[in-house]
């Protein structure tokens, strides 16, 4: 099998996120690596996904586990070599799977040569490649901006006698996108990886690239509006409305340049929009017009509490309102939030329903490694924590290590088949019973439901790339239709643990999706859905 040139491959794609530290260790050092991914690519292909997204594997001091890059164009020895990455691309493509990589462009590591030069003086060639500012007359930071990891977003540097901006860790200084040379350097990074065969990018914190040139203070955010998905109750970052430290309109011009570089390669990008208040609106801006990002995902379905039927309807209606030209990418879990099985207290039946639901929504889909096994959040003891976010805010917030523990491949192996050495994070004993080997042998396991749901999506063009008529809620039931060419599919979901009734829409409907537990279309039009049951039906023309 080979990858065919198709510039619209991303539309409706199912993308499988790999956190490389925790996927498969090939050399016994307890840390996953690129050759480990190569080993497991046949399994990934067996899921039926269109692409993989690999979290950062670039050279890094690993203060934020690869999201602090010190060399954009090389592989950290921890993960292997550039030749190993080439093997990932070659193997994935031979299996019909595209490869997307995670580019972190808003900031670098403080160990990056660019920053080392920039901080050396105020008049060197890269002096303005980062966001520097003099202190206020009283020596305090230039404004009230806060870091996501706690405290001020400004760090004093004794060499330049100035503050530098860091939206994340102090060791992650923000690049100055107002400097054209910075943008060109980052576009050159993009070209490097495109020439190496990647099919696209996941762009980390895409709305953080450009900060207000005047460095104006952010206004306060009222307590009732504080709805962040990560540590909302303990992090003062959620006390501000972030209108100046990110989300600047100048970013649109850079995104157009980035898109133009991808076009000849048929590559695509999905941008991570980190904004609790304006995420969907920014998604609309960044994916509009066909000349910026192909996809973006916001955090609406990464919410701490299970979305109600009305909440799901409202989110999709807002997307229709603010991003009608664009294309969303939906995720329930990723490497930054508690796994949704635990976060939403889902039973296996509820997990199956939500899996089927996300495969039916208009947009593309990101699945996080282990989600297909129904893995719950792992309980990681404080002494085993690696995540600086969790260490900072413990015990009110335990950080992100619980969703980053190693993938479990073998049930009868102490380390779950992940490594012959001591894993960098402990393997959850609760996860072992859900290992791939155990689920492959159980026809009723979650793994098989995910395969069926992905396959069902691919069989029906209406689900993969069609339009929808708007979601509606009737009690605990969400319903909508998807359309493409001459195919119309009705999708109804009971989002509750009690039976629900739903009156079928007018028309001649044929039951489909039996492999997903879909209810049969009733002759009298009155559909009785069991707890967490779905009904999928094809309209006869």
Nearest alpha-carbon partner for 423 in 370, 382, 380: 380
SS (H, E, C) 18-69: ECHHHCCCCCCCCCCCHHHHHHHHHHHHHHCCCEEEECCCEECCCCCCCCCC
d(CA 502, CA 318): 24
Q: Is residue 430 flagged as an active site residue?
A: no
For residue 14, what are the contacts with CB-CB under 8 A and spacing of at least 6?
A: 48, 49, 50, 51, 359, 364, 365, 367, 454, 457, 458
The token pair at 510 is 């044929």
Contact 416, 407 (CB under 8 A): yes
Q: DSSP per residue over 357-409, as a string? A: HHHHSSSEEEEETTGGGTPPPP---GGG---HHHHHHTTT---SGGGTSPP--
Q: Is residue 272 flagged as an active site residue?
A: yes
d(CA 509, CA 540): 6
In the set 272, 275, 336, 401, the catalytic residue is 272
Residue 143's SS3 state is coil
**Ramachandran assignment for 247, one of left (phi > 0), alpha (psi -120 to 50 degrees), beta (any other):** left
In the set 84, 204, 275, 285, the catalytic residue is 204
Q: Exposed, middle or buried, 62 (CB in 10 Å: 0-12/13-18/19+)?
A: middle
What are the residue numbers of the active site? 204, 272
């Amino acid at each position: 099998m080979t990858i065919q040139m198709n510039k619209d491959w991303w539309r409706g794609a199912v993308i499988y996120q790999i956190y490389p530290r925790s996927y498969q260790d090939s050399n016994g050092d307890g840390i996953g690596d690129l050759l480990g991914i190569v080993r497991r690519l046949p399994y990934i292909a067996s899921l039926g996904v269109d692409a993989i997204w690999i979290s950062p594997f670039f050279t890094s001091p690993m203060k934020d586990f690869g999201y602090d890059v010190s060399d954009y164009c090389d592989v950290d020895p921890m993960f292997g070599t550039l030749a190993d990455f080439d093997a990932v691309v070659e193997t994935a493509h031979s299996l019909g799977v595209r490869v997307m990589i995670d580019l972190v462009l808003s900031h670098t590591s403080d160990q990056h040569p660019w920053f080392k030069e920039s901080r050396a003086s105020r008049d060197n060639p890269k002096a303005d490649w980062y966001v520097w500012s003099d202190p206020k007359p009283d020596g305090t930071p230039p404004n009230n901006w806060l870091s996501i990891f706690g405290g001020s977003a400004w760090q004093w540097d004794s060499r330049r006698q100035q503050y530098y901006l860091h939206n994340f860790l102090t060791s992650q200084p923000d690049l100055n996108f107002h400097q054209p040379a910075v943008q060109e350097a980052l576009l050159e990074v993009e070209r490097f990886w495109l020439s190496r065969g990647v099919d696209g990018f996941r762009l980390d914190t895409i709305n953080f690239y450009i900060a207000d040139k005047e460095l104006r203070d952010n206004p306060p955010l009222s307590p009732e509006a504080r709805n962040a998905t990560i540590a909302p109750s303990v992090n003062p970052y959620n006390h501000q409305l972030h209108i100046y430290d990110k989300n600047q309109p100048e970013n649109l011009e850079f995104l157009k340049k980035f898109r133009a570089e991808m076009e000849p390669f048929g590559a695509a990008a999905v941008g991570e929009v980190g904004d609790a208040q304006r995420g969907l609106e920014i998604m609309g801006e960044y994916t509009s017009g066909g000349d910026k990002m192909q996809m973006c995902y916001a955090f609406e379905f990464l919410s701490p509490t299970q979305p109600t039927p009305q909440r799901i309807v409202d989110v999709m209606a807002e997307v229709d309102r603010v991003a009608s030209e664009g294309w969303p990418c939906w995720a329930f879990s990723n490497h930054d939030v508690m796994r949704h099985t635990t976060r939403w207290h889902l039973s296996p039946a509820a997990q199956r329903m939500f899996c089927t639901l996300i495969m039916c929504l208009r947009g593309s889909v990101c699945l996080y490694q282990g989600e297909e096994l129904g893995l719950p959040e792992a309980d990681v003891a404080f002494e085993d924590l690696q995540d600086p976010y969790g260490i900072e805010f413990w015990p009110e917030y335990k950080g992100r290590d619980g969703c980053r523990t190693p993938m479990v491949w073998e049930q009868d192996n102490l380390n779950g088949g992940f490594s012959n050495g001591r894993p960098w994070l402990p393997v959850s004993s609760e996860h072992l019973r859900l290992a791939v080997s155990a689920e492959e042998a159980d026809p009723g396991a979650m793994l098989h439901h995910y395969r069926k749901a992905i396959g069902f999506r691919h069989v029906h063009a209406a689900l993969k790339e069609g339009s929808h008529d708007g979601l509606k809620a009737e009690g605990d039931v969400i319903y909508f239709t998807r359309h493409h060419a001459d195919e119309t599919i009705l999708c109804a979901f009971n989002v509750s643990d009690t039976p629900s009734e739903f009156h079928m829409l007018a028309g001649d409907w044929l039951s489909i999706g039996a492999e997903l537990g879909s209810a049969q279309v009733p002759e009298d039009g009155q559909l009785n859905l069991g707890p967490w049951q779905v009904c999928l039906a094809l309209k006869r023309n």
